[in-house]
Structure 1
Amino acid sequence: MSSPARVRADACPGVFATHDAADGPLARVRLPGGAVSADRLRVLADCAEDLGDGDAHLTSRGNVQLRGVTRPGLATRLTAAGLLPSPTHERVRNVLASPLSGVSGGIADVRGLAGDLDEALCAEAELAELPGRFLFAFDDGRGDVAGEGADVCWRAVTPQAGTVLLAGADTGWSVPREEAVAALLALARAFVAQRATAWRVAELPDPAALLPAGPRTAPVDRPVRVDPTVGPLGDHGLGVAPRFGRLTAAQLRVLAEVADHAVVTPWRSIVLPDAAPDAVARLHAAGLSTDPAVLEITACIGRPGCAKSLADVRADAARLVPNGVRAHVAGCARRCGRPSGDHLDVVAEAGGYRVGGRLLTVSRLAESLVRKENP
């Protein structure tokens, strides 16, 4: 069933079109597939320090946001570093890829597909008309990014072939790996032609109308799961969990020192596919955790960064002790940044936080999570 027509302009932030947050302009830097080299991490660190509030903030689409960008020069620096290849397409470069592909697990290796799609996407003028919320994804078969609500997704079924998903649902359209990029771009073109006021594929009256003519197999409802992305990974990989997805400029530089490249995940963690032998010690010394429990408690930016927030969400969330309860703390009913999958919804209201129909003080909330109760 389609959603109501969108009546306001697409306001997804980018570098040229920033968001006017309470703490100043917010710029979002897209990282297709979450991939970023050590040199580009250093550029982001310099930009955060010289032009913004000194920090980089990871997003639920594997991108990076810089807040409080009140000084000029960001676009020039990012362009020189290759982080902004197309001014016209910057807000539509939303591409997920299984972050552990080639590191551990998975059926197919999807490394490189996000970059190939990004290059082809930026070369097509008509695709600059995609909404800023339109999302591409390449799933290596384990079912991790397939569960992230992408508009168009190629999911591996064998090492050399996969199936196409629309708005998370299998279409039965089998596509070889070497044709995966072309298939998703074809669907994006069809969406641009048919979307009217829709921002997402799920809002179309008939998403299947995007599909080309041809034979189909019966759709299969495959499971989705997120494998751990924090701690030791594969033979030489390592996953890092910044608290609430926030990294200081100094921490970004440490990441660049211990690995040649990194992958930002949709779960606000960072995968280092080939970390230095002493990486753990250096990361811990920089205040970065390799404990998966850090990801159990997530939070929106809250006050003072967001004018709509009813609480200093991150200060309150920092009081909660991870103890097997996955929870997202939000400053208002919009629930910005909430993760996909099962989690406890903790929403600020006047006088406390609403959880499961009950209004709790911060101290009562902390007690409830420690006991693993559903308040």
Structure 2
Amino acid sequence: MDFEFGPEDDTFRREAREWLGAHLAGDAAEGPAWERTLGRDGWIGLGWAADAEYGNRHATLTQQVVWAEEYARFRAPARLGHIGENLLAPTLIAYGSQEQQTRHLPGIARGEELWCQGYSEPGAGSDLASVRTRAVRDGTGYRVTGQKIWTSLAHEAHWCFVLARTEPGSVRHHGLSFLLVPMDQPGRIDVRPIRQMTGTSEFNEVFFDGAEAVDVVGGEGNGWQVAVGLLALERGVSTLVQQIGFEEELERIVALAVANGAATDPVLRDRLVHQWAELRTMRWNALRTLGSTGDPGAPSVAKLLWGRWHQRLGELAMQIRGAAAAAGPGAWSSAYELDELQRLFLFTRADTIYGGSDEIQRNIIAERVLGLPREQR
């Protein structure tokens, strides 16, 4: 793919920088307020269909990359609306009805409707075909009963898209449906934060006890097709944003190695160079595949690359710090405190598991790309 930025992209970059500079000066809003600020000025949904108007501006693929790069470089607040904007919205555009699009896309574009993803379960993590959450018809809708886990930002979300089994007795990927569930259902939905090693709790357990689902996307029983289509959307422009964050982490670790003398160790210096070179390779691979369609292996290759790379970066950070890595700023107090690099190391332990484990990604490449026989179960 010939991926070059043109004059229109440069103009768009200046506009993005000016807007971010103006709105991030001083005490910038965060959380839901920041989402509404982005939505008010049309910065949500840049990659949605150009022929529909939901209050968002439309941008070319290169302009979407420009916005993502500048957003990351300005260290703008973490997005609460990522799941709705980049996962649910493209899925509704691809598989949803016009009524569903009209109902949900404007609220996402305004930053007023936040979503979470109800996929993983205690017995169905990367293997989503083992989903046991069930839904039964109740008039024009469904009643959902079951448990989801590792549900990012469920404590902030207004809605959840849920993969549930709507056909009694069905197995594996048959009989699943993609349901839209409002989260404000006291007594029927219970959200419980999961405290991690890092001390944070952005992940949650979600328990559904006869919760009402108002819509099914793609038709009853077609949930597997919709869910797989959504997962393919999960790697895209957001991968480039992620890599800018990786670059900043690497620069911070290099600076630390220079400051404490670790960079004079030839082994550690060699590892730093390898991390830098691999990051450049990942960027060009992401740009190369960004405009391609129908490649079932591209998302899996990208996940395998960055998951292991980021884990090695966390390990390298601890080695460069030496013995000091074992003690945090709260070492002599009762508070559980970690600095940035310690959080990096601990959180990256999960990089090869969440979003589809490495084993699942290798199976996808082997079976769907290379045409190898399916693994016996």
Largest Rg, 1 or 2: 2
Tell me the TM-score normalized by structure 1: 0.32
Tell me the TM-score normalized by structure 2: 0.31
- Higher-strand-fraction structure: 1
- Higher-helix-fraction structure: 2
